[in-house]
Structure formats: C-alpha cells, structure tokens
Amino acid sequence: MDFQIRGKLAYVNAGASGIGEAIADLLTQEGANVIVGDNDEQALQEKAHRWTGIVAADLSTAAGTNHAVAQVLRIFGRVPDILINNLGVGNSASFEELSDERWARSFEINLMGCVRMCRALIPGMAALGDAAIVNTGSDLAKQPEPGLMDYGVCKAGLLYLTKALARQYAPKVRVNTVLPGPIWTRMWTRPGGIVDQLIDHYGVEDRDAAVKQFLEDRYLPLGIGQPEDVANAVVFLASPLAKYITGASLDIGGTLRGLV
C-alpha cells in the first residue's frame, strides 16, 4: 500500500523496540526519512543502519528531550513532517503501593515526554502547513484497571492533550492518538513484565497459562496483538490518506468495549 509519505521527514520518539520500532520500519519502507530516539543506546546502534539517524537520550527528562530535538533539527535541517510520540511504560502495582515518587516518574514518562516533544516541535511543524502527530496511548485510558492506575491516568491525560492540540493547530497539524490493547512487546515479555505479573496474579507456574487466563478474563478473542498491527494504523494516521482525521483516538485492542 502506498501511504503517500515518500520523502517525508519523520521522528519516532522511543522507537528502538516494540511498537516504535515497527512504526519506524514501516515509515522507512514507505519512503520516509526516519530518525529514531530512545534511551536504549545499544538497541539503537544495532539497528541504526535501518534508519536515517538515531538519537540516544532519556526522553522522560527535559534535558533528554532538548538533546533529541537538537539532533533531529541538526540531521534534518528543519522540523519533521511527522512526529510519533511512542514513549510509555507501565508496571503493575496496587493503588496503596503507588508512592509519590512512582506517580511522578510515571507522569514524566507517560505524559510529560509527549508534552515536551510537542511543545518543542509543533510550532515549527505548524509553519510547514501540512504536518501530522500521532501519539501512542493505551486502551487503559478508557478501560480503567486498578493494577496500572498511574499508567492509565497518564494515558487518559494524553487523550485530552491530543484533542486540545488538534483543535489549536488545525488545519496545519493533525494530531491523533492510537489506543493499543495488549501488544506483544518488551512491556509484556521482559523479566518482571506483564506476563510475569500475570503469573503472580493468577497463581500459575506457566506463562502460557497466565496469558490464556488473561485473554479469557478480558474477552480478547483476537488474542494479543503484534507491534505491526499498531504500526499500520499509526502510519495511516500520519499519512495524507487520513487528511480528514484529527483529534481522533483509534482503538486497537482486539476486543469490543462500550460506546465511550
């Protein structure tokens, strides 16, 4: 499929693995020039040959964001046409276990990382007159779960941010959000990740059994998604094919929810 983005300049924030990596690869396959930022320098170096440029930085901090923005402007010579805000991480914990420090850290990663990047780039993108931003949210923004409360609260805030920016910068910059459900990434598979947390939650010994029980409890007949499932939607929203879509939130959750 031709997404009509050949020659476009794109920056993927937090794209060294998982959903961000899949987005960066698809943008590249479609002919865009892509810079990928992430705090995992080793992963970036291993995959650098696939993209136009890489930036190693802690994107949850103001200093890291400033460094990434400076590198993007240096490599491209101007602001990108496409900005993908993919920064986010969640860890299961009960509400009582969420300290002020944990809330603050989640806020920096899951909301302020996007806020800072948009604040730095969107005025210049608006001057281009035909730019697009896609933010990676979560189905938990609309489907609260106590075990990931700090993460979900931040992702709900991202929905408001997306709609407010879309209204302020239309028609020069389109701003949309995708809301992935369970996607098979490091957030799930890493030691101590969601799969290990499910093993503890269900009291089972086997990863497959834990995932099976989760799918049944959440009614996910389509199973767990792959990063490419999200990438296809993101690149569409970033492309001219979605020129009449802004302020939208697209569910990519593998299930049916209510009317909200």
Catalytic residues: 151, 155
Give the separation between CA 149 and CA 140, rounded to whole angstroms.
9
3-state secondary structure the chain: CCCCCCCCEEEEECCCCHHHHHHHHHHHHCCCEEEEEECCHHHHHHHHHHCCEEEECCCCCHHHHHHHHHHHHHHHCCCCCEEEECCCCCCCCCHHHCCHHHHHHHHHHHHHHHHHHHHHHHHHHHHHCCEEEEEECCHHHCCCCHHHHHHHHHHHHHHHHHHHHHHHHCCCEEEEEEEECCECCHHHHCCCCHHHHHHHHHCCCCHHHHHHHHHHHCCCCCCCECHHHHHHHHHHHHCHHHCCCCCCEEEECCCCCCCC
Neighbours of 196 (CB within 10 A): 16
Length of the chain: 260
Give the separation between CA 33 and CA 50, rounded to whole angstroms.
10
